[in-house]
Structure 1
Amino acid sequence: MDNRTGEIEAFLRSVDAGSFAAAAQQLRQTPSAVSRSVGRLEARLGVRLLQRSTRALTLTPEGEAYQRRAQAILHDLDELEASFTADRAEPRGRLRLNMSAPFGLHRVLPVLPEFLERYPKVTVDVSLNDALVNLVDERTDIAIRHGPLRDSSLRARKLGSSRWIVAAAPCYLERRGTPNKPDDLDAHNCLNFNFRRSIEGWSFRVAGALQQRSVSGNFLGSSGEALRVMAVSGAGIVRLAHFLVGADIAAGRLVPILGSCHDGDTEDIHALYLGQGRPSARVRAMLDFLVERASVTE
């Protein structure tokens, strides 16, 4: 690794770790060596990238801009080297995987021990987050996304499609009545997400045409799992993927409603990853595993 690449790595590790000492542990260097590497980088660029204090390191505006570009450059370098070694390399190293909490809890985490046993030299770093993240900014290798694909710079492997289900607990329907058409939802408590999604509103088929309908209620949650728990407890009506609420419906904890109005309302699920060349061995191994063990067909 040449001096410039080493300085960039020292800078990025220091930002991630929050201190030169923590970065030094990861890089197997001394804290002073890491600090000098970052100092040389700043001197060459002629700008301050990090504000130092006794408590923490803080990015300057110039540091934030440099971090984004540097992450992309190192990722491209990894992709370039991986393209020459992927076919013969054993999967190894850290793999950062980002996905929604419901998909992670219900589809991936239950089978992930099989991947770890199959590839013992890979460390899987999982983040569960229903909101969208930038793969470069978050240094994510694979992100599982639901809905339409909008970023053409990302490559994708399809994991299937899941039906949307509108449902409520029996106790809620006994208390508030069962809606028979989408307009009836105006008189009901609809539980929704507290962040912007790729498609706003709930989809219903009215007179043969698919329409987006706004709903309202007194609870907003940051994940589908939070909405599922509230619905099972009788708080209101939810619209969630079948893979998340299928077990609750089978057990009678939730009752599907308005089924004839949203028949065919599905959402594609993809595993997205960066790069134009051949992905690294660990990324390819995880993509193949997700297709094999975490695909959705309901």
Structure 2
Amino acid sequence: MARPEINRSGEIEVFVRVVEAGSFSAAARALRMTPSAVSKLIARLEARLGARLISRSTRRLQLTPEGVAFHDSGARILADLDAAEREAAAGAAPRGRLRVNAYVPFGQHRLMPLLPRFLERYPEISVEVVLTDSVIDLLEERADVAIRAGPLRESRLVARKLGQSRMVVVAAPAYLEARGTPQTPTDLARHNMLAFGFARYIDGWPFVDTAGTSVMVSIGGNTTVSDGEAMRLSALSGAGIARLARWHVEPDIAAGRLVPLLEAFNPGDEEPTHAVYVGQGKHLPARVRAFLDFLAEAVRI
């Protein structure tokens, strides 16, 4: 009887992806397989090895001691395979579809204007861009790179910092003419403060008082927006007062379309921008590495 063909590297890749994704279903989405197919493959692998790798006694994925050892060895094997393939294809140009998810202001004012240069440099790469200020799951959305503003949450993702910008409170001259100019942070209680419709990493607007003590002002107003660009446009229309990264509104300030407010009370906090991605150590697809290197070279925040 002929021995059935065994794709051992494929089995290792699926097992390692299950461990790194934290569940069969997340790994299945990333691998474009069904959860049942992933489950059956892991079961076949365990049967062939004669060892249980994943405990089924809990709802959460939990490795047995044999599973921990096999994952560590398997991850090293995959890294060696990646290195061998990169070495063999060292002269090949990056290619393939690159999926990028970016927060709206960065996408509109930085990413989209730069894309023609990137695609001219790497003509064998095609790019799919989604702009949203909502935080996404890269595996769920099958994105290669996500570009996010603000402090990073703990995760298994790898991050590359693209820059950071001081925060600034601004309003349009027409709004200030109609409602007056706040002189201290407490004056904001009488003004329309523009708010985001999603959870932020700080609850309110931070300031420092004349004694240098930190003060947090709660946001109160009648306008909530979905993203930073919508907030900028609302401020430009005279709808209210906004707090945004300086790089985002610098052209508007220079042109007199927006006026910085309460600078004497500005705590000087800065908002970082990172490119985050799923990585296995230093091993990345050539198209992702080329994009990250391009952003680090071209982006100014």
Q: Shared fold (TM-score greater than 0.5)?
A: yes
Which of residues 290, 293, 296 in structure 2 aligns to 1:285? 290
Secondary structure, aligned partner of 2:128: strand
Which of residues 256, 265, 268 in structure 2 aligns to 1:264? 268
Secondary structure, aligned partner of 2:281: coil
- 223-232 or 275-284, larger mean C-alpha shift: 275-284
Are 2:29 and 2:140, in contact at CA under 8 Å, matched by a contact in 1? Answer: no
How much does 1:15 deviate? Answer: 7.9
- 1:81-230 to 2 correspondence within 5 Å? 82-86=82-86, 88=90, 89-206=92-209, 207-230=211-234
Secondary structure, aligned partner of 1:110: helix
1:41 aligns with 2:37: yes
For 1:274, the equivalent position in structure 2 comes to 278
How much does 1:158 deviate? Answer: 1.1
For 1:294, the equivalent position in structure 2 comes to 299
Are 2:138 and 2:146, in contact at CA under 8 Å, matched by a contact in 1? Answer: yes
Q: What letter corresponds to residue 85 of structure 2 in structure 1?
A: T
Are 2:151 and 2:201, in contact at CA under 8 Å, matched by a contact in 1? Answer: yes
Q: Deviations over 1:241-275 (max 9, x none)?
A: 11211111111111110111114121111111112
Are 2:168 and 2:245, in contact at CA under 8 Å, matched by a contact in 1? Answer: yes
Q: Deviations over 1:56-80 (max 9, x none)?
A: xxxxxxxxx9xxxxxxx9xx89977
Q: How far apart, in 1, do the equivalents of 2:297 and 2:196 lie?
A: 30
How much does 1:90 deviate? Answer: 2.2
Identity of aligned residues (%): 49
Are 1:82 and 1:281, in contact at CA under 8 Å, matched by a contact in 2? Answer: no
Q: How far apart, in 2, do the equivalents of 1:130 and 1:294 lie?
A: 19
Q: Deviations over 1:162-206 (max 9, x none)?
A: 111100000100100000111110000011100012222112122
How much does 1:294 deviate? Answer: 1.2
Q: How far apart, in 2, do the equivalents of 1:173 and 1:232 lie?
A: 11
Is there any run of 5+ residues in structure 1 with no aligned partner, and where? 17-22, 24-36, 46-64, 66-72
Q: What is the TM-score with the length of structure 2 in the denominator?
A: 0.72
Q: How far apart, in 2, do the equivalents of 1:103 and 1:265 lie?
A: 19
Are 1:83 and 1:277, in contact at CA under 8 Å, matched by a contact in 2? Answer: no
1:103–1:4 Cα change, 3 Å: same
Are 1:92 and 1:119, in contact at CA under 8 Å, matched by a contact in 2? Answer: yes
Are 2:94 and 2:287, in contact at CA under 8 Å, matched by a contact in 1? Answer: yes
Q: How far apart, in 1, do the equivalents of 2:181 and 2:143 lie?
A: 43
Q: What letter corresponds to residue 260 of structure 2 in structure 1?
A: P
For 2:239, the equivalent position in structure 1 comes to 235
Q: How far apart, in 2, do the equivalents of 1:41 and 1:155 lie?
A: 28
Q: Deviations over 1:71-107 (max 9, x none)?
A: xx9xx89977544334514211111111111011111
How much does 1:227 deviate? Answer: 1.0
Q: How far apart, in 1, do the equivalents of 2:212 and 2:35 lie?
A: 64
Is there any run of 5+ residues in structure 2 with no aligned partner, and where? 1-5, 15-24, 42-59, 61-70
